[in-house]
Chains A and B, each alone.
Chain A
């Protein structure tokens, strides 16, 4: 199957020997672009670390990671970020639980099943969804979704992790749909034809052939959706109540995340306190530590996903 493909590749490399100087310049420019992206990422992390390091030295990483008392303006300041880290992870993971089945299903429908007219209608609608400002979605959370959550679960108010996760799920949806749809579309039609010719039904073709072939693209879509959820600020700030209590409850002696409790995310804290913090103070620097944590969080998750992905592909 790869025979013709590798032949083409080979021919292209042969042609490279006779490159003209301007072709080399273009290739060099592209390489520079690629390197520059890496430089920017490293520079951002370096900046966060450089700004945050004095706070890390003075307070110690241990307090940030193990305490949940965040009171930087108190006469006896506390800089524990544990409940914010837990809160951020909770809403982001739950947002994916909402958005992944929904988004991948929608993408599969759009790419494999939907007639042209329906697709023409759904795609632009999803794009509009992507364009709604997060403050508007936050307001909807505040006045519509939160009261609904409160009624459904018999709470006195609905500003909970669940409310935030539902909103973030909806917000991550357009990203996940459009990238996984591209992944489905990128699967060559020959695959589908071959499966159908072997007697597979359309459903079997979708699940056993198209889906595995598009898997790496779908995982990329999920990772981007996760990034959207982790980084989102305004919506969670409005929807989750921003309480600093550790959102855990005992359940048969095991501590599990409590989605019906109010939480505060790392991003919300930076947004709330970054506006009026005295520049250069310990409080200011500790906000950069939170930023660096956010960076590490997304980096680790992307890294793990990458490893999983490579392993899955290597196994084939």
Chain B
């Protein structure tokens, strides 16, 4: 009996899911599915809540998993929007084209990847070269960086499906190998919790995740250059902070209907207010211009 009803439930849920899957092309769509960057998942949920408050009857579902996960879902045509904290690779764009998915890029804001250490760590600043040495395993002891009582550095990284991982690896480490002892954590919050609990830890997270129990190191482009604080917006706007990046929204096809409404909301003053309350930085005029150009090219407003 139990088995029969179980089978019935499975069959019914399969039927429901496959029906739901067919609804993608409806003109009167009333839900939006968003997946992607773990760095942006809180941001995405705040956007969704604010948007749903203003537009009752529309549902926006936001899930994380990593930029790579969101982009893969976009390529497989299973989501409307992918959040990404790195730009789409050419190989991914090619795959999307093969699957018949048109992808359009928008920038909603900026992030400074913050290098965080435990709050008991006396070190406050680091150069890009030392940061690379730490994460490639050439520097393994805190004493080498000037903290005589520090122990062996514990490295916390994101996993390869994370846009933050890819960005950090390419920009800071020049795509060289991670140190053998690097621990690859499943999400930003796992890194944060790890660094809070571990005096010898170093990790990297989006600027919105810097909180109590850790502090963000000031980073200098090279020896002798000024150490720059990621927590100051002007440093990101001016390009002085070396590990800053745009936060991307990729739409599945030309945005229209509710997806266009949602996109417009994210780029509006209300959307920027949400972005800043979460802890990220608003677009520079250059990014706003880039969005405006895309809108004009697509003939949407």
A residues whose Cβ falls under 8 Å from a Cβ of B: 68-69, 71, 73-75, 78, 142-143, 147, 150, 156-157, 159, 237-238, 241-246, 262, 264, 272-273, 275-276, 278-279
Q: Are A150 and B197 in contact (CB under 8 A)?
A: yes
**A74-B175, A244-B182, A262-B183 known; A272-B161 Cβ under 8 A:** yes
Smallest Cβ-Cβ distance to B175: which chain A residue: A75
Q: Are A238 and B177 in contact (CB under 8 A)?
A: no
Given contacts A242-B185, A273-B161, A275-B68, 7 further A-B pairs with CB under 8 A are: A73-B160, A156-B201, A244-B180, A245-B180, A262-B183, A276-B66, A276-B69
Nearest Cβ on chain B to A26's Cβ, whole angstroms: 20
**A73-B160, A272-B160 known; A159-B194 Cβ under 8 A:** yes
Nearest Cβ on chain B to A155's Cβ, whole angstroms: 9
- Bound together, the chains give a CA A100 to CA B221 distance in angstroms of 55
Smallest Cβ-Cβ distance to A244: which chain B residue: B180
Q: Are A237 and B186 in contact (CB under 8 A)?
A: yes
**A156-B152, A278-B92 known; A71-B177 Cβ under 8 A:** yes
B178 close to chain A: CB less than 8 A: yes
Q: With a CB–CB cut-off of 8 A, which chain B residues contact A245?
A: 180-181
- Specify the main secondary structure of chain B where it touches its partner: mixed
Specify which of A241, A276, A278, A279 is in contact with B184 (CB 8 Å cutoff).
A241
Q: Are B184 and A157 in contact (CB under 8 A)?
A: no
Q: With a CB–CB cut-off of 8 A, which chain B residues contact A279?
A: 95
- Bound together, the chains give a CA A11 to CA B223 distance in angstroms of 92
- Bound together, the chains give a CA A273 to CA B72 distance in angstroms of 12
Q: Are B183 and A241 in contact (CB under 8 A)?
A: yes
Q: With a CB–CB cut-off of 8 A, which chain B residues contact A147?
A: 197
- Bound together, the chains give a CA A266 to CA B139 distance in angstroms of 28
Specify which of A73, A156, A262, A278 is in contact with B95 (CB 8 Å cutoff).
A278
Specify which of B71, B92, B183 is in contact with A159 (CB 8 Å cutoff).
B183
B residues whose Cβ falls under 8 Å from a Cβ of A: 65-69, 71-72, 91-92, 95, 151-152, 154, 159-161, 175-178, 180-186, 190, 193-194, 197-201
Q: Are B199 and A276 in contact (CB under 8 A)?
A: no
Q: With a CB–CB cut-off of 8 A, which chain B residues contact A73?
A: 160
Q: Are B182 and A243 in contact (CB under 8 A)?
A: yes
Q: Are A276 and B190 in contact (CB under 8 A)?
A: no
Specify which of B92, B161, B180, B194 is in contact with A243 (CB 8 Å cutoff).
B180
Q: With a CB–CB cut-off of 8 A, which chain B residues contact A262?
A: 181, 183
Q: With a CB–CB cut-off of 8 A, which chain B residues contact A68?
A: 180
Smallest Cβ-Cβ distance to A238: which chain B residue: B186
Q: Are A275 and B151 in contact (CB under 8 A)?
A: no
Q: Are A157 and B177 in contact (CB under 8 A)?
A: no
18 pairs from A and B in contact (CB 8 Å cutoff)? A74-B176, A78-B177, A142-B190, A150-B197, A156-B152, A156-B154, A156-B198, A243-B183, A246-B180, A272-B161, A272-B186, A275-B66, A275-B72, A275-B161, A276-B69, A276-B160, A276-B161, A279-B95
Most buried by A among B154, B183, B190, B199: B183
Q: With a CB–CB cut-off of 8 A, which chain B residues contact A244?
A: 178, 180, 182
Q: Are A156 and B184 in contact (CB under 8 A)?
A: no
Specify which of B151, B181, B184 is in contact with A272 (CB 8 Å cutoff).
B184
Nearest Cβ on chain A to B117's Cβ, whole angstroms: 12
- Bound together, the chains give a CA A100 to CA B25 distance in angstroms of 53
Q: With a CB–CB cut-off of 8 A, which chain B residues contact A272?
A: 159-161, 184, 186
Q: Are A157 and B197 in contact (CB under 8 A)?
A: yes
Q: With a CB–CB cut-off of 8 A, which chain A residues contact B177?
A: 69, 71, 74, 78
Q: Are B68 and A276 in contact (CB under 8 A)?
A: yes
Chain A to chain B: the 5 pairs with minimum beta-carbon distance, closest first: A276-B68, A245-B180, A241-B183, A242-B184, A276-B161
Q: With a CB–CB cut-off of 8 A, which chain A residues contact B190?
A: 142, 238
- Bound together, the chains give a CA A10 to CA B151 distance in angstroms of 75
**A142-B193, A150-B197 known; A273-B183 Cβ under 8 A:** no
Nearest Cβ on chain B to A25's Cβ, whole angstroms: 23
Most buried by A among B65, B67, B190: B190
Q: Are A143 and B154 in contact (CB under 8 A)?
A: no
Nearest Cβ on chain A to B254's Cβ, whole angstroms: 25
Nearest Cβ on chain B to A276's Cβ, whole angstroms: 3
Nearest Cβ on chain A to B287's Cβ, whole angstroms: 25
- Bound together, the chains give a CA A279 to CA B71 distance in angstroms of 13
Q: Are A276 and B72 in contact (CB under 8 A)?
A: yes
- Bound together, the chains give a CA A74 to CA B166 distance in angstroms of 11
Nearest Cβ on chain B to A57's Cβ, whole angstroms: 22
- Bound together, the chains give a CA A304 to CA B193 distance in angstroms of 42
Q: Are B69 and A275 in contact (CB under 8 A)?
A: yes
- Bound together, the chains give a CA A157 to CA B201 distance in angstroms of 9
- Bound together, the chains give a CA A24 to CA B173 distance in angstroms of 69
Q: Are B200 and A156 in contact (CB under 8 A)?
A: yes
- Bound together, the chains give a CA A313 to CA B138 distance in angstroms of 56
Q: With a CB–CB cut-off of 8 A, which chain A residues contact B66?
A: 275-276
Specify which of B184, B198, B200 is in contact with A264 (CB 8 Å cutoff).
B184
- Bound together, the chains give a CA A278 to CA B91 distance in angstroms of 8
Smallest Cβ-Cβ distance to A274: which chain B residue: B161
**A244-B182, A275-B69, A276-B72 known; A157-B175 Cβ under 8 A:** no
Nearest Cβ on chain B to A21's Cβ, whole angstroms: 28
Nearest Cβ on chain A to B25's Cβ, whole angstroms: 24
Smallest Cβ-Cβ distance to B71: which chain A residue: A276
Nearest Cβ on chain B to A61's Cβ, whole angstroms: 22
Q: With a CB–CB cut-off of 8 A, which chain A residues contact B67?
A: 276
